[in-house]
Amino acid sequence: MDSHQLGDNLSAILHTEDELRSRLAEMAREIEVDYAGNPPLLVGVLKGAVMVMADLARELRFHAQMDWMAVSSYGASTKSSGVVRILKDLDADITGRDVLIVEDIIDSGLTLSWLKENLESRGAKSVRICTMLRKPEALKVEVDVAYVGFDIPVEFVVGYGLDFAEDYRNLRDVAVLAPHVYGGE
Ligand code: 5GP
Ligand code: MG
Ligand code: MG
């Protein structure tokens, strides 16, 4: 889909597929240096991080294991509740391991700060966060994020794994959802 085919429900393309991929390549080079000789376990947060994980993992020039967690998120709403529930836990025992959380987006930061603490409490050697997108002006808690793709404005975005009521995840670009779709102004 390109900007000529946005339709009525998407108001703008924020980052194209190409921009996302080339930024991910830069992030991968940083990650390779930081974890030289010591590949972390990549932990993706379902479902939004599926695209980031697939592209990042293949971009990395080391053998990396992947694991997945699912935590409660917004559902069909666009506001964070701050209540985090594990829907699917890790398969791996992360005791003594270096863990790199791979996320699609950080909005309030509530999910990630909770998740980071949760993984640290299991005895991981280190827990770092890599996110494709972040909304700095929406942060409600401080989260130490090691790798950020793009900082974006406080708008509800979809695509590249990100959904609205489970739609739009397979959109190749990241686009802004028109506020009338979710009852915003
Ligand atoms: P946080 O806890 O940082 O507020 O939000 C975490 C989760 O909320 C993200 O992983 C994502 O699932 C969802 N989220 C936050 N902002 C957006 C957005 O702009 N678009 C979509 N589709 N999901 C979002
Ligand atoms: Mg997510
Ligand atoms: Mg969602």
Residue 95's pLDDT is 98
Dist. CA 49 → ligand 2 center (Å): 6
Q: Does residue 12 sit within a domain? A: no
Q: Does residue 168 sit within a domain? A: no
Q: Model-level pTM?
A: 0.92
CATH number at residue 29: 3.40.50.2020
Residue 5's pLDDT is 63
Nearest one of 95, 79, 86 to 41, comparing CA atoms: 95
* Residue 32 structural domain: 18-153
The total domain count for the chain is: 1
Q: Which residues of the chain have pLDDT under 70?
A: 1-5, 73-83, 185
Catalytic residue among 107, 144, 151, 163: 107
Residue 72's pLDDT is 83
Please name which ligand lies nearest the alpha carbon of 102: 2
Determine how many CB atoms are found less than 10 A away from the CB of residue 136: 12
Per the annotation, the verdict on 144 as an active-site residue is no
Q: Which atom, in ligand 1's list, is nearest to the CA of 164? A: 22
